[in-house]
């Protein structure tokens, strides 16, 4: 089975080196790294690697995770003959048994898999956990915020899910190529994976959560504290921008969006820079309402 790793990087050379070490040790047939116009030593370090499996795409501007994954998806669709694509960021490290375990999975009728993503302490990364069903009503959302167990998968078994995370998505190459336009690069960062996967679900594709496929995610968001603080802008703005892409059939209902924004406001006391955090939330709301997208921090 022919496999390709698709990695997006920007100015995190130390983490990229760890990502490369864990990736290059696996028997991927191809490894594509999208350098999102890094301003550190990433470009020169990538140029020094002698590995025939490696292709480096060097973008001329930082297009965020969304733009990087879209560029990589389009390149793979046009230039690489492969069956499955493993998608992840430069701060994610695949487990040594990832491809071995992948080879044991029954894939008939499945368009994509969602892997289990843990942090460096071995704890599940909530931000990368897929939904097995989306909370839609007010009651659903209250239940989800109080106890998410009915909406997220069980780590003890394989089960269907309805969203994907670009840290730990394994997707059929033909599906990725035909749907790359659904990676909305104007989001820059956050929810690009959720919206991409929701487009696929609306088109009849099926996903599985497979907990024995593991990535370690060296995340900068821990609990309710967000670092760097500007990331909250995209978390808020891109929630509202769902209405631009889906009208009335998006992954989040209006009540779900409102409750998430309220939760962000309630978390102000847990931030290091409370004033800047509030400023970015307000800007995110305004820009979302007026459909302003792209990189704006």
User: How confident is the model over 183-242, as pLDDT tens digits?
Assistant: 999 999 999 999 999 999 999 999 999 999 999 999 865 556 788 999 999 999 999 999
Token pair 């370690």 in the structure block, residue:
216
If you average pLDDT over every residue of the chain, what do you get?
95
Cα 118 to chain centroid distance, Å, stands at 14
Hey, what are 7's tokens?
Answer: 């990695």
Q: What is the percent of the chain with per-residue pLDDT over 90, rounded to a whole number?
A: 91
Q: Please, which residues bridge with residue 4 across strands?
A: 30, 85
Half-sphere exposure of 292 (CA within 13 A, CB side): 13
For the entire predicted model, the pTM comes to: 0.95
Q: What is the pLDDT of residues 253-297, one digit of tens each?
A: 999 999 999 999 999 999 989 999 999 999 999 999 999 999 998
d(CA 175, CA 169): 12
**Nearest residue to 164 via CA among 126, 127, 197, 116:** 197
Give the model's pLDDT for residue 97: 98
Residue bearing tokens 């679900």: 201
For the chain, give every domain's residue range.
Answer: 3-219, 225-289
Class for the domain spanning 3-219: alpha beta
Task: State both tokens at 86.
Answer: 């493993």
Per-residue pLDDT at 290: 96
Which of 240, 238, 183 lies closest to 8 in space, CA to CA? 183
């Amino acid at each position: 089975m022919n496999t390709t790793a698709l990695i997006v990087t920007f100015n995190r050379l130390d983490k990229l080196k760890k990502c490369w070490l864990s990736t290059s040790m696996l028997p991927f047939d191809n490894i594509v790294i999208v350098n999102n116009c890094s301003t550190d030593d990433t470009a020169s370090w990538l140029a020094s690697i002698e590995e025939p499996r490696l292709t480096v795409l060097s973008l001329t501007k930082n297009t965020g995770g969304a733009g990087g994954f879209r560029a990589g998806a389009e390149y793979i669709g046009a230039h690489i003959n492969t069956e499955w694509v493993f998608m992840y960021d430069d701060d994610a490290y695949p487990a040594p048994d990832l491809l071995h375990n992948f080879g044991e999975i029954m894939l008939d009728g499945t368009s994509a898999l969602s892997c289990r993503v843990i942090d460096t302490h071995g704890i599940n990364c909530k931000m990368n956990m897929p939904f097995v069903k989306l909370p839609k009503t007010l009651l659903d959302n209250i239940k989800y915020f109080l106890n998410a167990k009915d909406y997220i998968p069980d780590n003890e078994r394989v089960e269907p899910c309805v969203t994907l995370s670009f840290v730990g998505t394994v997707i059929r190459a033909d599906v990725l190529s035909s749907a790359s336009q659904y990676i909305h690069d104007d989001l820059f960062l956050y929810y690009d994976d959720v919206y991409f996967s929701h487009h696929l679900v609306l088109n009849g594709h099926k996903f599985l959560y497979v907990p024995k496929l593991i990535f370690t995610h060296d995340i900068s968001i821990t609990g309710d504290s967000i670092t760097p603080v500007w990331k909250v802008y995209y978390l808020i703005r891109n929630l509202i921008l769902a209405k631009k892409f889906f009208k009335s059939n998006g992954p989040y209902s209006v009540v779900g969006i409102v409750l998430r924004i309220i939760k962000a406001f309630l978390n102000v006391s847990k931030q290091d820079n409370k004033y800047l955090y509030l400023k970015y939330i307000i800007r995110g709301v305004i820009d979302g309402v007026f459909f302003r997208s792209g990189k704006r921090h």
